[in-house]
Amino acid sequence: MPPRFLHISSILLLLASIPAASQPSQPPLPDEERTRWFREAKFGMFIHWGAYSVIGRHEWIRHQAQIPQAEYDKYARRFNPVRFNADSWVQLAKNAGARYIVITSKHHDGFSIYRSRVSDYDMEITPYPGDPLKDLAAAARRHGLRLGFYHSIMDWHHPDYRPRRSWEHPDNYKEGGDNNRYIDFMKEQLRELLTGYGDVAVIWFDGEWEHTLAQTKRDDEIYDFIRKLQPNTLINDRLYERKPGNRADFGTPEQFVPATGLKSPDGKPVLWEACVTINQDSWGYNKYETVFKTERDLIRMLVEVVSKGGNLLLNVGPKPDGTIQEEFITRLNAIGRWMRVNGESIYETAASPFDRMSFFGRATAKGRTLYLHVFQWPAGGRLRVAGLKNIVHRARLLADPKRPVKAVRDGADIVLELPGEAPDETASVIALELDGAPVTEPFANRPDAKGVITLGVESSEIDTEFEQRAKKENALGHVFLTQWTRERDVPYWTVEAPGGGRYLVEISYAARRAGAGFTVEAGGTRLQGKAEATGGDWVFKTRRVGQIQLPPGRSQVRVRIAPAAGTMNLERVVLRPVN
């Protein structure tokens, strides 16, 4: 039997009975103050949980496996999280160092994981007697974390929503329905969330690519509706088209880290939050998953995101019984251990004052303190910080404050003398107390005394988008690009050749097998090559590719891969002047 959806007149009568104690308590704040907690928090935990977890494959499984609605409803009715403990979830997030949580209230399948007064396609059809969102809201308040709600605009279940799934209704999936009536329903669900669960930190929309709100011209109406009910609630960009320049509070790059953060159309930095999974293939619980990001990957990703001015929203997909799998717990606990030592370099910091780093690592800043996150400890114990103009009054290791660190001026650079081994091979943090806010020179890769330009992967950025795979790694003294399996992941460097000129291009890489195609692009020239087997993934060899012409001044060098026949680990590109 299909679920019932109540008429708006009935909805309003029901909403009048919501207890006043559930209403938000904070007065409206100016925008700068309203977003302050988000700018300072830096790290949150995302939770995707719903009926799809019963199947245990993917939150899109009804669509992916083309499961008829009636069949899918059988799984929804079996959702019974008898081992759910809201306090343990919140404590896990808090121990990891997260300062807020965002959980799915309703995903694309239309099932709500709370007890909705305006729809019975929710927890009411399950054996579970409680309301998980009520419990989670109470636990978050007890532990001092903020709570926000993900809410899907798209709804595969509601009879008025269009378009329906084309595989389910091949002849008329866009016809019928009434999206305005659906939006009225969606507003009333938002009203429930914004008036029944206390202060809501974020309403996190998704599913905007079907343009439901834009085509009905009701996106601003939803924005104003939320602001009226909870003036301080943040709203993400997916209420609108997913790009800077709308009324939303922050952007949401998904499954990748933007090369230079996010900026408004006029070039100013904007708030943003990278949402990323710990596993590879799904947001909801996936019992078939075998690939997980390492603790090292996740800590370095957090550092990278914060160094570029963003927040990291790291996802877990709980099991249908309410427990969280060990692969997530161990990684979150590892992040927490690192944060307890190095958290001052993350919380309440600003983006790196450097365009690029001269070593493998990242930087953040807070007032007169510059934090250097060193991923590759210098073999000779000397770390060059190129382009830092300030006087350094003091340098200290967060993990070992008593170990002496000496800072010496060397022309336009600061050189740090670092005795001993790295205190943390994942990311050792050095705090530099400066004479003022950090002041830096724009970084570019320049010719050395012999005119050679060396472009190590450590000084590159990765131009990428949804489902980034390529990442920087270091091992045995090498820094290289690995997991380079997508053409859309493109490393690039800014170079400065004052007089321009012709250069011989050499590329250093490792490849277990021959065959990966690559292209070096610079100054309008494209050089193509094919990787030869070097003897192993960490056996690096140098090959000559050809010659390019660099224009005078600044330009970019990019390397693209064609991975159909294989892949490779890229270490560096060297440009040698041709006399």
Model pLDDT for residues 46-75, shown as the tens digit of each residue: 999 999 999 999 999 999 999 999 999 999
182 and 275 share one domain: yes
Domain containing residue 560: 453-577
The answer to whether position 58 is within a domain reads yes
Q: How far apart are CA 185 and CA 427, in angstroms?
A: 48
Token pair 């979830």: residue? 89
State phi, psi for 493 to the nearest 5 degrees: -130, 150
- How crowded is residue 145: how many other Cβ atoms within 10 Å of its Cβ? 21
CATH of the domain at 368: 2.60.40.1180
**Of 498, 490, 495, nearest in space to 570 by CA:** 490
Specify the amino acid at residue 560.
R
391 and 492 share one domain: no
The answer to whether position 444 is within a domain reads no
Tell me the average pLDDT across 335-360. 96
254 and 369 share one domain: no
293 and 391 share one domain: no
Q: How far apart are CA 100 and CA 148, in angstroms?
A: 8
Asked whether 318 and 330 are in contact (CB, 8 A), the reply is no
Please check the confidence at residue 230 and state whether its pLDDT lies above 50.
yes
Cis peptide before 163 (omega within 30 of 0): yes
For residues 85, 88, 90 and 92, what is the CA-based torsion angle, rounded to 10 degrees? -140
User: Tell me, what's the pLDDT at 564?
Assistant: 86
The answer to whether position 15 is within a domain reads no
CATH of the domain at 515: 2.60.120.260
The answer to whether position 353 is within a domain reads no
The average confidence (pLDDT) of the chain is 94
458 and 426 share one domain: no
User: Tell me, what's the pLDDT at 81?
Assistant: 98
Specify the amino acid at residue 94.
K
Tell me the average pLDDT across 325-333. 98
Please check the confidence at residue 17 and state whether its pLDDT lies above 50.
no
Q: How far apart are CA 239 and CA 168, in angstroms?
A: 26
Contact residues for 267 (Cβ-Cβ < 8 A; gap 6+):
none
The answer to whether position 211 is within a domain reads yes
**What would the two tokens of residue 337 be?**
């251990």
Beta strands in 132-242 (DSSP E): 146-152, 202-206, 234-235
The answer to whether position 11 is within a domain reads no
Last residue of a domain, one of 345, 375, 392: 345
Alpha helices of 259-383 — where are they, by DSSP H?
295-307, 326-342
**What would the two tokens of residue 19 be?**
């207890």
Q: How confident is residue 19, by pLDDT bands cut at 50, 70 and 90?
A: very low
365 and 460 share one domain: no
Indicate the pairing of strand 100-106 with strand 146-152. Answer: parallel
User: Tell me, what's the pLDDT at 44?
Assistant: 98
Q: What angle do CA 469, 299, 49 make, to 5 degrees?
A: 75
Last residue of a domain, one of 281, 313, 345: 345
Q: How long is the chain?
A: 579
Q: How far apart are CA 262 and CA 284, in angstroms?
A: 27
39 and 116 share one domain: yes
143 and 216 share one domain: yes
494 and 405 share one domain: no
The answer to whether position 226 is within a domain reads yes
Total number of domains constituting the chain: 3
Cα distances from 364 to residues 10, 16, 93, 95, 333, in angstroms, run 53, 48, 23, 22, 23
User: Strand, helix or coil at 115?
Assistant: coil
Terminal Cα-to-Cα distance of the chain (whole angstroms): 81
104 and 179 share one domain: yes
Stretch (H or E) spanning 482: strand 478-482
103 and 164 share one domain: yes
Q: How confident is residue 24, by pLDDT bands cut at 50, 70 and 90?
A: low
Asked whether 257 and 304 are in contact (CB, 8 A), the reply is yes
Q: DSSP string spanning 41-104?
A: H-EEEEE--STHHHHTS-TTHHHHTT--HHHHHHHHHT---TT--HHHHHHHHHHHT--EEEEE
The answer to whether position 557 is within a domain reads yes
290 and 211 share one domain: yes
Please check the confidence at residue 209 and state whether its pLDDT lies above 50.
yes
Last residue of a domain, one of 434, 462, 489: 434
Q: How far apart are CA 371 and CA 480, in angstroms?
A: 23
Model pLDDT for residues 272-318, shown as the tens digit of each residue: 999 999 999 899 999 999 999 999 999 999 999 999 999 999 999 99
User: Strand, helix or coil at 314?
Assistant: strand
Side-chain half-sphere CA neighbours of 230 within 13 A: 25
Q: How far apart are CA 252 and CA 315, in angstroms?
A: 13
Q: How confident is residue 22, by pLDDT bands cut at 50, 70 and 90?
A: low
User: Tell me, what's the pLDDT at 168?
Assistant: 95
CATH of the domain at 191: 3.20.20.80
